[in-house]
Structure 1
Protein backbone atom coordinates (compact mmCIF):
# COMPACT_ATOMS: atom_id res chain seq x y z
CA UNK A 1 0.00 0.00 0.00
CA UNK A 2 2.84 2.40 0.83
CA UNK A 3 4.44 1.71 -2.54
CA UNK A 4 1.17 2.55 -4.30
CA UNK A 5 0.89 5.83 -2.33
CA UNK A 6 4.50 6.82 -3.10
CA UNK A 7 4.03 6.03 -6.80
CA UNK A 8 0.75 7.97 -7.02
CA UNK A 9 2.27 10.95 -5.19
CA UNK A 10 5.31 10.95 -7.49
CA UNK A 11 3.11 10.91 -10.58
CA UNK A 12 0.94 13.74 -9.24
CA UNK A 13 3.98 15.88 -8.43
CA UNK A 14 5.52 15.25 -11.84
CA UNK A 15 2.50 16.84 -13.52
CA UNK A 16 1.87 19.65 -11.05
CA UNK A 17 2.66 23.31 -11.87
CA UNK A 18 5.15 23.39 -8.99
CA UNK A 19 7.45 21.01 -10.84
CA UNK A 20 7.61 23.03 -14.06
CA UNK A 21 11.04 24.54 -13.49
CA UNK A 22 12.71 25.72 -16.71
CA UNK A 23 9.32 25.78 -18.43
CA UNK A 24 9.59 26.48 -22.16
CA UNK A 25 7.34 29.51 -21.72
CA UNK A 26 9.87 31.11 -19.40
CA UNK A 27 12.44 31.83 -22.11
CA UNK A 28 12.83 35.28 -23.65
CA UNK A 29 15.42 37.23 -25.61
CA UNK A 30 15.45 41.03 -25.53
CA UNK A 31 16.92 42.95 -28.49
CA UNK A 32 18.59 46.35 -27.94
CA UNK A 33 19.71 48.15 -31.11
CA UNK A 34 18.57 51.67 -30.24
CA UNK A 35 20.26 54.68 -28.62
CA UNK A 36 17.59 56.14 -26.33
CA UNK A 37 18.55 55.73 -22.62
CA UNK A 38 14.90 56.02 -21.54
CA UNK A 39 13.89 53.20 -23.86
CA UNK A 40 16.84 51.14 -22.59
CA UNK A 41 15.76 51.85 -18.99
CA UNK A 42 12.28 50.56 -19.91
CA UNK A 43 13.91 47.41 -21.29
CA UNK A 44 15.72 46.77 -18.00
CA UNK A 45 12.47 47.32 -16.09
CA UNK A 46 10.65 44.92 -18.41
CA UNK A 47 13.29 42.24 -17.86
CA UNK A 48 12.95 42.57 -14.09
CA UNK A 49 9.14 42.44 -14.37
CA UNK A 50 9.09 39.31 -16.53
CA UNK A 51 11.47 37.53 -14.16
CA UNK A 52 9.25 38.50 -11.21
CA UNK A 53 6.21 37.08 -12.99
CA UNK A 54 7.87 33.80 -13.92
CA UNK A 55 9.17 33.34 -10.41
CA UNK A 56 5.70 34.07 -8.95
CA UNK A 57 4.42 31.20 -11.11
CA UNK A 58 7.23 28.97 -9.78
CA UNK A 59 8.86 28.91 -13.19
CA UNK A 60 12.60 29.11 -13.68
CA UNK A 61 13.21 31.82 -16.28
CA UNK A 62 16.04 32.03 -18.78
CA UNK A 63 16.43 35.56 -20.11
CA UNK A 64 18.95 36.80 -22.65
CA UNK A 65 19.71 40.39 -23.62
CA UNK A 66 21.43 40.99 -26.97
CA UNK A 67 23.05 44.33 -27.88
CA UNK A 68 23.55 45.23 -31.55
CA UNK A 69 24.38 48.52 -33.30
CA UNK A 70 23.47 51.50 -31.10
CA UNK A 71 23.01 49.09 -28.19
CA UNK A 72 26.81 49.06 -27.94
CA UNK A 73 26.50 52.38 -26.07
CA UNK A 74 25.01 50.56 -23.06
CA UNK A 75 27.84 48.02 -22.72
CA UNK A 76 30.82 50.29 -22.03
CA UNK A 77 31.89 53.43 -20.21
CA UNK A 78 33.77 54.52 -23.34
CA UNK A 79 32.09 57.55 -24.98
CA UNK A 80 32.76 56.08 -28.45
CA UNK A 81 33.87 59.50 -29.73
CA UNK A 82 34.01 59.81 -33.49
CA UNK A 83 31.74 56.81 -34.08
CA UNK A 84 28.06 56.67 -35.05
CA UNK A 85 27.38 55.39 -31.51
CA UNK A 86 28.91 58.32 -29.60
CA UNK A 87 27.40 58.82 -26.15
CA UNK A 88 25.32 61.96 -25.79
CA UNK A 89 24.50 63.98 -22.68
CA UNK A 90 21.34 61.98 -21.74
CA UNK A 91 23.33 58.74 -21.69
CA UNK A 92 26.29 60.25 -19.84
CA UNK A 93 23.94 61.54 -17.13
CA UNK A 94 22.36 58.10 -16.61
CA UNK A 95 25.27 55.80 -17.40
CA UNK A 96 26.15 54.85 -13.80
CA UNK A 97 22.50 54.06 -12.96
CA UNK A 98 21.95 52.01 -16.12
CA UNK A 99 25.23 50.16 -15.69
CA UNK A 100 24.32 49.27 -12.11
CA UNK A 101 20.90 47.99 -13.12
CA UNK A 102 22.40 45.85 -15.90
CA UNK A 103 25.03 44.47 -13.55
CA UNK A 104 22.35 43.60 -11.01
CA UNK A 105 20.31 41.75 -13.63
CA UNK A 106 23.39 39.73 -14.57
CA UNK A 107 24.63 39.05 -11.03
CA UNK A 108 21.38 38.68 -9.08
CA UNK A 109 18.77 37.68 -11.69
CA UNK A 110 21.07 35.51 -13.85
CA UNK A 111 20.33 37.35 -17.12
CA UNK A 112 22.68 36.31 -19.93
CA UNK A 113 24.02 39.34 -21.83
CA UNK A 114 25.57 39.31 -25.30
CA UNK A 115 27.19 42.00 -27.44
CA UNK A 116 27.53 41.72 -31.19
CA UNK A 117 31.28 41.44 -31.78
CA UNK A 118 30.81 42.70 -35.34
CA UNK A 119 29.43 46.00 -34.00
CA UNK A 120 32.23 46.25 -31.42
CA UNK A 121 34.87 45.53 -34.05
CA UNK A 122 33.46 48.07 -36.54
CA UNK A 123 34.28 50.93 -34.17
CA UNK A 124 37.52 49.45 -32.84
CA UNK A 125 36.37 49.25 -29.21
CA UNK A 126 38.87 47.24 -27.20
CA UNK A 127 37.11 44.15 -25.77
CA UNK A 128 38.54 45.02 -22.34
CA UNK A 129 36.33 48.15 -22.32
CA UNK A 130 33.14 46.07 -22.47
CA UNK A 131 31.46 45.61 -19.08
CA UNK A 132 32.46 42.50 -17.20
CA UNK A 133 30.07 39.60 -17.64
CA UNK A 134 28.97 40.51 -21.17
CA UNK A 135 29.70 37.76 -23.67
CA UNK A 136 30.88 38.72 -27.14
CA UNK A 137 28.97 36.88 -29.87
CA UNK A 138 30.11 36.92 -33.51
CA UNK A 139 26.73 38.19 -34.73
CA UNK A 140 24.06 39.63 -32.48
CA UNK A 141 21.23 39.04 -34.95
CA UNK A 142 22.38 35.46 -35.48
CA UNK A 143 22.39 34.95 -31.69
CA UNK A 144 18.79 36.22 -31.55
CA UNK A 145 17.76 33.92 -34.42
CA UNK A 146 19.37 30.91 -32.76
CA UNK A 147 17.65 31.64 -29.45
CA UNK A 148 14.30 32.05 -31.23
CA UNK A 149 14.81 28.67 -32.93
CA UNK A 150 15.31 27.22 -29.43
CA UNK A 151 11.91 28.52 -28.32
CA UNK A 152 12.84 31.90 -26.84
CA UNK A 153 10.22 34.63 -27.21
CA UNK A 154 11.54 37.74 -29.00
CA UNK A 155 10.95 41.00 -27.13
CA UNK A 156 11.90 44.56 -28.07
CA UNK A 157 10.69 47.56 -26.10
CA UNK A 158 9.28 50.36 -28.25
Structure 2
Protein backbone atom coordinates (compact mmCIF):
# COMPACT_ATOMS: atom_id res chain seq x y z
CA UNK A 1 0.00 0.00 0.00
CA UNK A 2 2.84 2.39 0.84
CA UNK A 3 4.46 1.63 -2.49
CA UNK A 4 1.29 2.56 -4.42
CA UNK A 5 0.90 5.77 -2.42
CA UNK A 6 4.57 6.61 -3.11
CA UNK A 7 4.03 6.08 -6.85
CA UNK A 8 0.93 8.30 -6.84
CA UNK A 9 2.68 11.04 -4.85
CA UNK A 10 5.67 10.91 -7.20
CA UNK A 11 3.43 11.15 -10.25
CA UNK A 12 1.57 14.13 -8.76
CA UNK A 13 4.87 15.82 -7.91
CA UNK A 14 6.10 15.41 -11.49
CA UNK A 15 2.81 16.74 -12.86
CA UNK A 16 2.94 19.82 -10.59
CA UNK A 17 6.62 20.44 -11.41
CA UNK A 18 5.98 20.14 -15.14
CA UNK A 19 3.04 22.50 -15.01
CA UNK A 20 -0.33 22.26 -16.61
CA UNK A 21 0.26 20.95 -20.16
CA UNK A 22 -2.37 23.27 -21.69
CA UNK A 23 -0.62 26.40 -20.42
CA UNK A 24 2.32 28.12 -22.08
CA UNK A 25 5.45 29.26 -20.25
CA UNK A 26 4.13 32.72 -19.49
CA UNK A 27 0.80 31.53 -18.13
CA UNK A 28 -1.31 31.82 -21.27
CA UNK A 29 -3.99 29.18 -21.65
CA UNK A 30 -4.49 27.41 -24.96
CA UNK A 31 -6.06 29.76 -27.50
CA UNK A 32 -8.10 29.60 -30.70
CA UNK A 33 -7.73 32.82 -32.68
CA UNK A 34 -8.92 34.33 -35.97
CA UNK A 35 -6.97 37.17 -37.56
CA UNK A 36 -9.30 38.99 -39.98
CA UNK A 37 -7.60 40.61 -42.99
CA UNK A 38 -9.85 42.53 -45.38
CA UNK A 39 -8.03 45.80 -46.04
CA UNK A 40 -5.45 46.72 -48.66
CA UNK A 41 -1.81 46.55 -47.64
CA UNK A 42 -0.29 49.11 -49.97
CA UNK A 43 1.36 48.56 -53.32
CA UNK A 44 4.35 46.77 -51.79
CA UNK A 45 2.36 44.88 -49.13
CA UNK A 46 4.12 46.75 -46.32
CA UNK A 47 0.92 47.24 -44.33
CA UNK A 48 0.49 43.46 -44.14
CA UNK A 49 3.89 43.02 -42.47
CA UNK A 50 2.56 44.53 -39.25
CA UNK A 51 -0.29 42.01 -39.11
CA UNK A 52 2.08 39.13 -39.85
CA UNK A 53 4.45 40.35 -37.14
CA UNK A 54 1.51 40.50 -34.69
CA UNK A 55 0.79 36.86 -35.50
CA UNK A 56 4.44 35.90 -34.97
CA UNK A 57 4.52 37.70 -31.61
CA UNK A 58 1.24 36.05 -30.60
CA UNK A 59 2.59 32.60 -31.48
CA UNK A 60 5.81 33.14 -29.57
CA UNK A 61 4.02 34.44 -26.48
CA UNK A 62 1.48 31.63 -26.26
CA UNK A 63 3.59 28.84 -27.73
CA UNK A 64 2.81 27.18 -31.04
CA UNK A 65 1.60 24.04 -29.28
CA UNK A 66 -0.96 26.14 -27.39
CA UNK A 67 -2.59 28.04 -30.24
CA UNK A 68 -4.83 27.32 -33.20
CA UNK A 69 -4.41 30.46 -35.32
CA UNK A 70 -6.36 31.06 -38.54
CA UNK A 71 -6.01 34.01 -40.89
CA UNK A 72 -9.20 34.72 -42.84
CA UNK A 73 -8.78 36.94 -45.89
CA UNK A 74 -11.48 38.40 -48.10
CA UNK A 75 -12.00 41.54 -50.15
CA UNK A 76 -8.85 43.64 -50.30
CA UNK A 77 -7.26 41.34 -47.70
CA UNK A 78 -6.58 38.78 -50.43
CA UNK A 79 -4.01 41.34 -51.56
CA UNK A 80 -1.70 39.89 -48.90
CA UNK A 81 -1.23 36.74 -50.95
CA UNK A 82 -1.18 38.70 -54.23
CA UNK A 83 1.63 40.92 -52.89
CA UNK A 84 3.50 37.87 -51.57
CA UNK A 85 3.57 36.34 -55.05
CA UNK A 86 6.50 38.64 -55.94
CA UNK A 87 7.72 39.68 -52.47
CA UNK A 88 10.23 37.32 -50.89
CA UNK A 89 10.03 39.03 -47.49
CA UNK A 90 6.26 38.45 -47.30
CA UNK A 91 6.76 34.90 -48.57
CA UNK A 92 9.24 34.21 -45.78
CA UNK A 93 6.88 35.56 -43.10
CA UNK A 94 3.95 33.52 -44.45
CA UNK A 95 5.94 30.29 -44.82
CA UNK A 96 7.35 30.67 -41.31
CA UNK A 97 3.85 31.11 -39.86
CA UNK A 98 2.52 28.17 -41.87
CA UNK A 99 5.39 26.02 -40.63
CA UNK A 100 4.23 26.84 -37.10
CA UNK A 101 0.69 25.69 -37.85
CA UNK A 102 -1.04 28.92 -38.90
CA UNK A 103 -3.74 28.38 -41.53
CA UNK A 104 -4.36 31.06 -44.17
CA UNK A 105 -7.94 30.88 -45.45
CA UNK A 106 -9.12 32.67 -48.60
CA UNK A 107 -12.67 33.67 -49.48
CA UNK A 108 -13.96 32.03 -52.66
CA UNK A 109 -16.53 34.81 -53.15
CA UNK A 110 -13.65 37.28 -53.45
CA UNK A 111 -11.76 35.02 -55.86
CA UNK A 112 -14.81 34.64 -58.11
CA UNK A 113 -15.94 38.27 -57.82
CA UNK A 114 -12.51 39.63 -58.68
CA UNK A 115 -11.60 36.93 -61.21
CA UNK A 116 -8.54 35.84 -59.20
CA UNK A 117 -6.94 32.51 -60.06
CA UNK A 118 -5.44 31.23 -56.79
CA UNK A 119 -2.86 29.07 -58.58
CA UNK A 120 -1.61 31.90 -60.81
CA UNK A 121 -2.31 35.06 -58.82
CA UNK A 122 -1.73 34.12 -55.16
CA UNK A 123 1.20 32.83 -53.14
CA UNK A 124 0.96 29.28 -51.75
CA UNK A 125 -2.81 28.74 -51.84
CA UNK A 126 -4.19 25.19 -52.01
CA UNK A 127 -7.77 23.98 -52.49
CA UNK A 128 -8.10 23.26 -48.75
CA UNK A 129 -7.22 26.94 -48.04
CA UNK A 130 -10.28 28.25 -49.91
CA UNK A 131 -13.49 28.73 -47.93
CA UNK A 132 -16.88 29.54 -49.50
CA UNK A 133 -17.23 32.90 -47.71
CA UNK A 134 -14.73 34.79 -45.59
CA UNK A 135 -17.31 36.40 -43.33
CA UNK A 136 -19.26 33.14 -42.96
CA UNK A 137 -16.01 31.39 -42.01
CA UNK A 138 -15.31 34.01 -39.34
CA UNK A 139 -18.80 33.53 -37.88
CA UNK A 140 -18.42 29.74 -37.98
CA UNK A 141 -15.07 29.88 -36.19
CA UNK A 142 -16.42 32.27 -33.56
CA UNK A 143 -19.25 29.82 -32.85
CA UNK A 144 -16.51 27.18 -32.38
CA UNK A 145 -14.88 29.37 -29.69
CA UNK A 146 -12.28 31.25 -31.72
CA UNK A 147 -11.44 34.77 -30.57
CA UNK A 148 -11.63 37.52 -33.22
CA UNK A 149 -8.67 39.86 -33.80
CA UNK A 150 -8.62 42.64 -36.37
CA UNK A 151 -5.06 43.95 -36.74
TM-score class normalised by the smaller sequence: 0.7 to 0.9
**Cα 1:38–1:76 shift into 2, 3 Å:** closer
Structure 2: gaps of 5 or more residues: none
Aligned equivalents of 1:113, 1:142: Cα separation in 2:
15
State the SS of the aligned residue for 1:76.
Answer: helix
**Cα 1:2–1:147 shift into 2, 3 Å:** farther
Confirm or deny: 8 A CA contact 2:31 2:68 kept in the other structure.
Answer: yes
- What displacement does 1:11 show? 5.1
- Report the counterpart of residue 97 of structure 2 in structure 1: 105
Confirm or deny: 8 A CA contact 1:26 1:59 kept in the other structure.
Answer: no
Confirm or deny: 8 A CA contact 2:84 2:91 kept in the other structure.
Answer: no
Deviation readout 1:48-89 (Å, 9 max, x if unpaired): 00111112xx9621111111100111123699xxxxxxxxxx
State the SS of the aligned residue for 1:19.
Answer: coil
Deviation readout 1:8-50 (Å, 9 max, x if unpaired): 4545628x74311698642211000010233311110000001
State the SS of the aligned residue for 1:18.
Answer: coil
TM-score normalised by structure 1 residue count = 0.74
Confirm or deny: 8 A CA contact 1:21 1:59 kept in the other structure.
Answer: no
Runs of 4+ that moved beyond 6 A: none
Deviation readout 1:77-112 (Å, 9 max, x if unpaired): 699xxxxxxxxxxxx7xx3311221122112x1101
Question: Do residues 61 (structure 1) and 67 (structure 2) align?
Answer: yes
**Root-mean-square deviation over aligned CA pairs:** 2.9
Aligned equivalents of 2:38, 2:29: Cα separation in 1:
26
